[in-house]
């Protein structure tokens, strides 16, 4: 039993380090305050504020629930070991094994220490030059990420989508909600390159295609990204074209241009002009926040036009011919089963990137 006690002592020491690094005590205090606020019926006089606080409360509860459960289990196991004899040693050892595995998962949470890692995310997929071939590749990436979201338990809501004339997509924008959604997805930001035998070429020649994947944090109004109204040009126009729900013929589509950086966001899928404007502003805040990180700028006012990540060097190569390999150019991580990767099994690439970021 002494060996079990030593293992439990080591586990508890490591757990307390994780508990402190995750700021669980502060988060529990914040949860208690939010619970008091949302219990007040007056909060629903402002539905937007009430909804935001409820979402914040739910997010914090998700973050802390597993940690608090493990703390309780450690205390319970300590008492059981003190009260048990050698006949219980195997069963107690199995319980300790499960707790050590759970602590390993919690340690992975330490990877999400970026400023926006706990935020939901916007993913925008854009086909590169190359017509149908590139649009088909963008469509393949869209499916890959949707499959990954499904496996991860993330909710993906389509905000904007333009399908290709023959195949694939020209562009697709999704809002992704889930625990540490931006923290997980930020590794996917950049250019993705495909090499394959073209299904659209009569001679079946090898073709290289590119698509740009942008990952942006969802930043609500009133947060730290403050945009001056005088820096915006807002245009409205008829919704139309391929794809999207609730596309209509009224002037509900909205295009917002951030003049200092020449950053443009257009949304037409929502039912009203106001909803489209709110969603476009949400995406614009994420774009500017991403640019701020990339340019290491002190504030939005210090951003420079044309210096965000775009069609530069690819971050990942997907080779289907003449051999099969998917390789990340930043971490060196690779998989030899491209079909599985394109079916959404990208955890290895994400984990490798996050581990290199710690």
Q: Which two tokens stand for residue 50?
A: 């009430």
Q: How much is the average pLDDT of 87-96?
A: 91
Distance (Å) of CA 309 to CA 12, 195, 228, 261, 350: 43, 22, 23, 13, 19
Instruction: Examine the fold and report which residue of 80, 109, 138 is the final residue of a domain before the chain moves on.
Output: 109
Model confidence at 306: pLDDT above 70: no
What's the confidence (pLDDT) of residue 199?
A: 87
Q: Are residues 129 and 51 in the same domain?
A: no
What's the confidence (pLDDT) of residue 276?
A: 87
What's the confidence (pLDDT) of residue 70?
A: 94
Question: Which residue shows structure tokens 């992704």?
Answer: 176
Q: Taking a C-beta distance cutoff of 8 angstroms, is the pair 168, 137 a contact?
A: yes
Model confidence at 123: pLDDT above 70: yes
Prediction pTM value: 0.71
Q: What is the CATH number of the domain that holds 72?
A: 1.20.58.410
* Alpha-carbon gap, residue 280 to 160, rounded angstroms: 10
Q: Are residues 154 and 283 in the same domain?
A: yes
Q: How confident is the model at residue 246 (pLDDT cuts 50, 70, 90)?
A: very low
Q: Are residues 81 and 215 in the same domain?
A: no
Q: Are residues 200 and 311 in the same domain?
A: yes
| Least confident span in 22-26, 201-205, 289-293 | 201-205
Q: Are residues 95 and 180 in the same domain?
A: no
What's the confidence (pLDDT) of residue 263?
A: 87
Q: How much is the average pLDDT of 132-160?
A: 95
Tell me the angle at which helices 89-109 and 47-83 cross, rounded to the nearest 10 degrees.
150
What's the confidence (pLDDT) of residue 247?
A: 47
What's the confidence (pLDDT) of residue 358?
A: 62
Residue 269 CA to its chain's centroid (Å)? 21
Q: Which DSSP letter does residue 197 get?
A: E
Q: Are residues 134 and 246 in the same domain?
A: yes
Model confidence at 80: pLDDT above 70: yes
Model confidence at 227: pLDDT above 50: yes
What's the confidence (pLDDT) of residue 250?
A: 61
Q: Are residues 181 and 268 in the same domain?
A: yes
Q: 155-163 and 169-177 as β-strands: parallel, antiparallel, unpaired?
A: antiparallel
What's the confidence (pLDDT) of residue 228?
A: 85
Residues 256-267 pLDDT 10s: 999 888 888 888
Residues 45-70 pLDDT 10s: 888 889 889 988 998 998 899 999 99
Q: Are residues 98 and 135 in the same domain?
A: no
Residues 324-345 pLDDT 10s: 999 999 999 999 999 999 999 9
Q: How confident is the model at residue 221 (pLDDT cuts 50, 70, 90)?
A: low
Q: How confident is the model at residue 33 (pLDDT cuts 50, 70, 90)?
A: very high
Q: Which helix (H) or strand (E) holds 109?
A: helix 89-109
The domain in which residue 356 lies consists of 114-358
Q: How much is the average pLDDT of 16-26?
A: 89
Model confidence at 87: pLDDT above 50: yes
């Amino acid at each position: 039993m002494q060996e079990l006690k030593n293992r439990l002592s080591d586990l508890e020491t490591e757990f307390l380090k994780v508990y402190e690094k995750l700021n669980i005590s502060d988060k529990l205090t914040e949860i208690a305050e939010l619970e008091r606020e949302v219990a007040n019926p007056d909060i629903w006089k402002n539905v937007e504020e009430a909804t935001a606080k409820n979402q914040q409360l739910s997010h914090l509860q998700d973050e802390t629930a597993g940690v608090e459960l493990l703390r309780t289990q450690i205390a319970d196991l300590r008492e059981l070991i003190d009260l048990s004899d050698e006949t219980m040693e195997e069963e107690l050892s199995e319980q300790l094994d499960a707790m050590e595995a759970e602590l390993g998962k919690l340690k992975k949470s330490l990877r999400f220490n970026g400023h926006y890692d706990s935020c939901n995310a916007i993913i925008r997929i854009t086909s590169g030059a190359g017509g149908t071939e590139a649009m088909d590749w963008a469509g393949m990436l869209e499916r890959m990420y949707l499959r990954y979201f499904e496996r991860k338990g993330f909710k993906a809501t389509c905000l904007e989508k333009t399908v290709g004339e023959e195949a694939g997509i020209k562009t697709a924008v999704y809002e992704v909600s889930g625990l540490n959604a931006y923290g997980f997805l930020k590794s996917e930001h950049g250019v993705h390159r495909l090499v394959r035998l073209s299904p659209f070429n009569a001679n079946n020649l090898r073709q290289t295609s590119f698509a740009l994947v942008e990952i942006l944090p969802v930043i609500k109004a009133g947060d730290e990204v403050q945009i001056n109204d005088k820096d915006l040009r807002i245009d409205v126009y008829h919704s139309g074209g391929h794809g999207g729900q609730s596309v209509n013929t009224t002037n509900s589509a909205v295009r917002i241009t951030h003049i200092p950086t020449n950053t443009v966001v257009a949304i037409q899928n929502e039912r009203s002009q106001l909803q489209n404007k709110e969603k476009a502003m949400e995406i614009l805040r994420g774009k500017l926040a991403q640019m701020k990180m990339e340019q290491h700028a002190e504030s939005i006012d210090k951003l420079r036009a044309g210096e965000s990540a775009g069609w530069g060097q690819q971050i990942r190569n997907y080779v289907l011919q003449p051999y099969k390999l998917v390789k990340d150019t930043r971490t060196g991580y690779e998989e030899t089963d491209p079909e599985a990767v394109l079916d959404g099994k990208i955890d290895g690439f994400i984990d490798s990137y996050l581990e290199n970021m710690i």
